[in-house]
Amino acid sequence: MSAGVPIRLTVNGTAYDVTVEPRRNLADVLRGACGLTGTKLGCEHGVCGSCTVLVDGEGVRSCLMLAVQAAGRDIRTVEGLAADGRLHPFQEAMSAEHGLQCGFCTAGFVMLVVGALDADPSVARDPERLDALLSSNLCRCTGYEGIRRAVLRAYGG
Amino acid sequence: MGVRGMEKLREVGGFVLPADSAPVSVRVPDAAASWRLGRREDARLITGAGRYVGDLDVPGCLDAAFVRSRVPHGRLVAVDTSAATATDGVVAAWTAADLGDEVPLVPVYLATPGSAHRPCPALAVDRVRYVGEPIAVVVGADRYVAEDGADAVRVDIDPLPALVDPGEAAASAVQLFDGLDNVVTDMEFGDPVPDEVWQRAAVVVEGVYRQPRLVPTPMEPRALLAVPEEDGRLTVWVSHQAPHRLRDDLAADLKWDPERIRVRVADSGGGFGSKSGTYAEYLVVVRLALRLGRPVRWLEDRAESLLASPQGRGQNQRVRLAADADGRMLALDLEVDADVGGYPVGAFVPGETGRAAAGVYRTPDVHARVRTVVTTTALTTPYRGAGRPEQVYAVERTVDLLARRLGMDPAELRRRNLVPPEAFPYESPTGRWFDSGRYEQALDLALELADYAHWREEQRRRREAGGAWPLGVGLCMFAERSGLEQKEVAQEWAAIDVAPGGGVVARVGTCATGQSHETVFAELVARTLGVPARQVTLVEGDTAEVPQGVGTYGSRSTQVGGSALHRAALELIEEAKRRAGPGASYANGVVTAGGRSRTLGELAAAGEPLRVEGVYAAPAAYAFGAYVAVVEVDTELGVVHVLRLVAVDDCGVRLDDEIVEDQVRGAVVQGLGQALYEVMPYDDEGRPQAADLLGYLLPTIGELPPLTLGSTVTPNPNTALGAKGTGEAGCIGTPPAVVNAVVDALGEPGIQLPLTPEECRRAVAGREAGVR
Ligand code: FES
Ligand code: FES
């Protein structure tokens, strides 16, 4: 075990002062030291996208980023999406369109879509770009159709 | 014959009721119209507030990491844990010798002859039989530390020869278990087909198929957290499909009263059969927690899951099918060598392939021989479909072969041979009773939805014009056992309680891993009672709340568990009327007798707790379907493009169409994975070749074909609810339809799963060689 490094993580607008080993990935620190377990780990090697969070507005696989790399940057997780007690429209759409079953991949898909589509909703109107985006993540339950419909519902495809 | 079948089915039907209860009239709630419910599960799952095993915050919890064999087969000479124990933060490092006098044995799913002689120790004792087999375990303050410790364990193994293929293993002089044959069981179903039947037949076709090994790959790998309680009890949090069986298995291992163990299933990240067993790691982690007196958690990681978690399928198949000149099937013979991996823990699965051999056809002579064989590979246990996709694949590919040989349209050939509706209940030559079916109706609908005639025309056009990618159309028809045949498990427990305030709590022994039970089962109870759904809460997956149960596997939850809840709700109405007094009537949660009306809640407040409970028995049912795939094959690159996929499923009465379709869609995509991408390859030395999700490919949204779902409804005749199962159909119907379509396009029947570009290129090369 190597010595811990003190860092400040800003997650969903809240500052977390934590001491972490440099080898710890962001996902583990979010889930552990920060207690934000909404972010899931489905592969821990960068393929499934379950661990997707936003770092400075960009979708990032938090299993591939070290926590120390995220120090001082603006991190958003699924826990921070609802504002003033209201769900993000895409969260509502996911439920309405049956975009989830077991829910384990859901936070990753939600952060992937919100990160990309809040910045550029036109992706929803371009089936190829939308497929390319959604192909970054894996879901083993739904067969994806509900997730696609949810994007169209929330972003008016 | 038919009458005998019904008697047999009815004999096991019915709710086991308290002796004094009155018979009830059966009412099916408004089920045919789809409910289209919003899912209750979602509020927590879309906000990140779900609680999976890895999310639970338990003070003082330790993490476990396993040391696994890197050698496929060998004698275990030495395991040195000293460096692990010395690692900073490591609390314990154990080998089999540390597990106590008796090393725990992994329980088999269902005892099959021969499994007891080939025990599977929870940690290897003196031999290893597959890459990934657990050898030691290290517990540390967290997972990083536990993995540091696991890396420091030194293992010395003297290699022995590997056995990768079940056919070769069956014939090999190398024995996985000294003094015992590698063939564990040799099962026969039906009588051998007489020689004269083969000789008399106008045509006999033969197909040889390989069922690759699949890794179920729920997005959450296996997970368990054992918490010793101060009062000497044990709580086990686990991602699981059958918590009661797990409780009983753990109790048997510890020689405890099962009541001392509480198994709790929190949110589960998918199962697909792979979370229905009691695995080596569970037994070890529980013992560690008890010995250390501290909570211990094991979260399998993905690499570990690909290497060591139980896999599915893995069969070598040979099918012979005989028919007369008109295409009437005369005889079918199926031979299977099923690979059960290093230990025969899941050896019952291939039995289903043999028992179901006839498929949906009225073939008079059907015989199956199924051998289960140990090899030096990971265990195979139930994976979505569990024996049924294997059977359907073998038969449906061979039926297409027959159609080609006869020059007959494969849809017409099937139509001629289907078991007709009036033949039910139908006993197949392999001794299976089919409850009901309208197969031709499903076929007609599938052909219509696929626009079959159009694609046949397009195919003809392309063949004549040449130049374009070859196009093929493939069919698959199947009947799928849902629920279970063995009497002890062809049942489910349910209870309903009404609180004085009117709240209704429904409990049932099934256990969802994503199938929307909280939503659908609560609604079912509410509609049967005629009360608002918000008044009803569903409880499952906690052995302290639900004293007995069978679980969620074999597509049984709605068929059996739903029926149990339905019956319990009807019983509750009768109980309410009995309490209200003579001549009572009941409507919408209000019971009226002698001019006095009371709600269920008021009735519950007035006296004894208002509660019913019981066990509902329901025999196996046979859901069925007809699938059509249209493909074109890029012969240059070997890539299969699925242009159209139609899935018509009849799962009896559907409570909520949308939620049924969720199941079908998900399973279809898994079936597509099986057809086109998925395989855990082993090299000749027995080493698995896919170490991550770039090596083991799952379908993404980019690979989805246009999918049309259709349904017919043939109610289950043996339950009041009328539902059959649906969770597995998609991955039964999809692979044969897609593969038949590719064979139809390429005209090369030798192609094997999965249809990777390499495999398709091989088939194209074969075709071109044949043409020249
Ligand atoms: S857990 Fe990060 S990509 Fe799979
Ligand atoms: S909902 Fe289960 S993995 Fe996507």
- Residues A57, A21, single domain; the answer is yes
pLDDT at B169 over 60: yes
Atom of ligand 1 nearest to the CA of A64: 2
Could you tell me if A110 and A59 are in contact, meaning their C-beta atoms sit under 8 angstroms apart?
no
Tell me if chain A has a CB within 8 Å of the CB of B587.
no
pLDDT at residue B240, as a whole number: 97
User: Is residue A65 included in any domain, yes or no?
Assistant: yes
Tell me, in angstroms, the distance from the centre of ligand 1 to residue B106's CA. Answer: 31
Q: What is the pLDDT of residues B478-521, one digit of tens each?
A: 999 999 888 888 999 999 999 999 999 999 999 999 999 999 99
Min mean pLDDT across B9-13, B436-440, B574-578 is at B9-13
Cα angle value A28/A29/A35 (rounded, 5°) = 100
Closest ligand to the CA of A104: 2
Q: Which pair of tokens denotes residue B317?
A: 């198949």
Last residue of a domain, one of A36, A61, A79: A79
Instruction: For residues A16 and A74, state if they share a domain.
Output: yes
Compute the distance from residue A88 Cα to the ligand 2 centre, in Å. Answer: 19
Pairing of strands B585-587, B234-238: unpaired
> Does residue A37 fall inside a structural domain?
yes
Strands B203-214, B183-189: pairing is unpaired
pLDDT tens string A111-150? 999 999 999 999 999 999 999 999 999 999 999 999 999 9
Q: Which residues of chain A lie closer than 8 angstroms to B48, CB-CB?
A: 36-39, 77-79, 107
| Claim to verify: residue A63 and residue A96 sit in the same structural domain | no
Asked if B374 contacts B129 with a C-beta cutoff of 8 angstroms, the reply is: yes
Give the CATH number of the domain where residue A42 resides: 3.10.20.30
- The tally of domains found in chain A comes to 2
Phi and psi torsions of B186, nearest 5°: -130, 100
Q: Which of B160, B74, B170 is nearest to B114 (CA)?
A: B170
Best probe of the A interface among B42, B90, B552, B697, by most A CBs < 10 A, is B42
Range of the domain at A113: 89-155
Residue B767 has pLDDT above 80, yes or no: no
Is B58 an interface residue toward A (CB < 8 Å)? Answer: no
Amino acid present at B118: R
Alpha-carbon distance B539 to B494, whole Å?
10
Mutate to test the interface with B, among A43, A76, A102 (most CBs of B within 10 A): A102
Beta carbons of B493 and B614 less than 8 angstroms apart: yes
Ligand having the closest approach to the CA of A42: 1
Q: Which of A27, A53, A79 is the last residue of a domain?
A: A79
Question: Are residue A66 and residue A97 in the same domain, yes or no?
Answer: no
Residue A27 falls within a domain, yes or no? Answer: yes
Alpha carbons within 13 A on the beta-carbon side of B641: 10
Q: DSSP assignment of A50-88, as one string?
A: TTEEEETTEEEETTTSBGGGGTTSEEE-GGG--BTTB--
At B208 the three-state DSSP class reads: strand
A-B Cβ pairs (cutoff 8 Å, strict): 166
Task: Tell me the pLDDT band of A15, cut-offs 50, 70 and 90.
Answer: very high
Q: Are B201 and B496 contacting, i.e. CB atoms less than 8 angstroms apart?
A: no
The confidence score (pLDDT) of residue B16 equals 42
Which chain A residue has its CA at the smallest distance from B42's CA?
A95
Please indicate, yes or no, if residue A84 is contained in any of the structural domains.
Answer: no
The answer as to whether A121 is a domain residue is yes
Whether chain A has a CB inside 8 Å of the CB on B55: the answer is: yes
Q: What amino acid is encoded at B683 in this protein?
A: D
Is the pLDDT at B196 greater than 60? The verdict is yes
User: Exposed, middle or buried: residue B534 (CB in 10 Å: 0-12, 13-18, 19+)?
Assistant: exposed
Smallest CA–CA distance, residue A72 to chain B, in Å, is: 23
Q: B665: which chain A residues are within 8 Å (Cβ-Cβ)?
A: 142-143, 145-146
Instruction: Spell out the residues 6+ positions from residue B474 whose beta carbon is closer than 8 angstroms to its own.
Output: B400, B628, B629, B630, B631, B736, B737, B738, B739, B740, B741, B742, B743, B744
Give chain B's mean pLDDT.
Answer: 93
Contacts 24+ apart (CB under 8 A), B746-753: B746/B470, B746/B472, B746/B633, B746/B635, B749/B207, B749/B397, B749/B401, B749/B404, B752/B209, B752/B210, B753/B209, B753/B210, B753/B211, B753/B212, B753/B393, B753/B674, B753/B675, B753/B679
Taking an 8 Å cut-off on Cβ atoms, the answer to whether B47 and A82 are in contact is yes
Helix spans in B163-322 (H): 166-171, 195-200, 243-254, 280-292, 302-308
Distance of alpha carbon B105 from alpha carbon B515, whole angstroms:
31
Q: What is the DSSP letter of B182?
A: S
**A111/A55 same-domain check:** no
So what's the pLDDT on residue A2?
66
What digits encode the pLDDT tens for the residues B26-77? 344 454 456 777 899 999 999 999 999 999 999 999 999 999 999 999 999 9
Give the C-alpha separation, B411 to B444, whole Å: 9
Contacts of A101 in chain B (CB under 8 A): 270, 514-516, 662, 666
Residue B22 has pLDDT above 50, yes or no: no
H helices present in B18-86, as ranges: 42-45, 82-85
- Residues B54, A41: C-beta atoms closer than 8 Å: yes
Closest CA to B415 of B452, B440, B385: B440
**Residue B607 in tokens:** 């006296």
CA pair distance A61, A70, nearest whole angstrom? 12
HSE-CB of A63 using CA atoms within 13 angstroms = 17
For residue A140, the domain's CATH number is 1.10.150.120
**Contact (Cβ atoms closer than 8 angstroms) between residue B688 and residue B383:** no
pLDDT tens readout for residues B104-158: 999 999 888 888 899 999 999 999 999 999 999 999 999 999 999 999 999 999 9
CA A63 to ligand 1: nearest atom: 2
Instruction: Using alpha carbons, select from B717, B462, B487, B740 the residue that is nearest to residue B627.
Output: B740
Q: How far is B658 from chain A (nearest CA, A)?
A: 8
Tell me: ipTM over 0.85.
yes
The residue that leads in pLDDT, B17 or A145, is: A145
Residues 6+ apart with CB under 8 A from B394: B207, B209, B317, B319, B334, B336, B353
Structure token pair of residue B462: 């392309």
Q: How far apart (Å, rounded) are the C-alpha atoms in residues A144 and A122? A: 20
Domains of chain B: 3-35+486-617 (3.30.365.10), 53-160+221-268+275-308 (3.90.1170.50), 435-483+620-772 (3.30.365.10)
Across the interface, do A1 and B514 touch by the CB < 8 Å criterion?
Answer: no
Largest Cα–Cα separation, chain A: 50
Closest CA to B663 of B31, B39, B33, B222: B39
